[in-house]
């Protein structure tokens, strides 16, 4: 379980939240799910598991260091090719339209919801 500090100015959409101190909720939840999976902080600044995030920045795309950390804990998939993610036209940021009038989700935000639901059931 993790705690989200109520004192933060959380943002899901930086277009709607104008605060210069806004923190991206999806980035923090993705990072915290990494801890739930057993990952420690990374020294790689671009990694999701790096210990800090500047306001108004988004960091949800897994970097090689994040993937290698999970593989060290759970083993690797012999069919997984990190380079194929890089070549897949930015796979993690492709939009999945659920209902054109209501919202659109990125793959990574859908995965965050999936993991949260998995944890509470």
Feature table: binding site for Zn(2+): 3, 31, 35, 41, 49
Backbone angles phi, psi at 66, to 5 degrees: -65, -45
Residue 32 falls in the annotated catalytic set: yes
Measured between its terminal Cα atoms, the distance across the chain in Å is 13
Task: Give the number of other Cβ atoms within 10 Å of residue 92's Cβ.
Answer: 14
The annotated binding site for Ca(2+) is made up of: 5, 8
Sign of CA dihedral 23, 25, 27, 31: positive
Which of 32, 46, 68, 89 is catalytic? The answer is 32
List, by residue number, the catalytic residues. Answer: 32
């Amino acid at each position: 379980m993790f705690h989200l500090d109520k004192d933060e100015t959380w943002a899901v959409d930086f277009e709607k939240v104008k605060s210069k101190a806004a923190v991206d909720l999806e980035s923090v939840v993705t990072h915290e799910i990494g801890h739930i999976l057993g990952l420690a902080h990374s020294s790689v600044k671009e990694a999701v598991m790096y210990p800090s995030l500047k306001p108004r920045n988004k960091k949800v795309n897994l970097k090689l260091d994040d993937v290698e950390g999970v593989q060290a804990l759970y083993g690797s998939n012999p069919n997984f090719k990190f380079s194929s993610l890089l070549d897949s036209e930015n796979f993690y940021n492709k939009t999945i339209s659920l209902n054109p009038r209501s919202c659109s989700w990125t793959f990574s935000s859908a995965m965050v919801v999936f993991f949260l639901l998995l944890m509470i059931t």
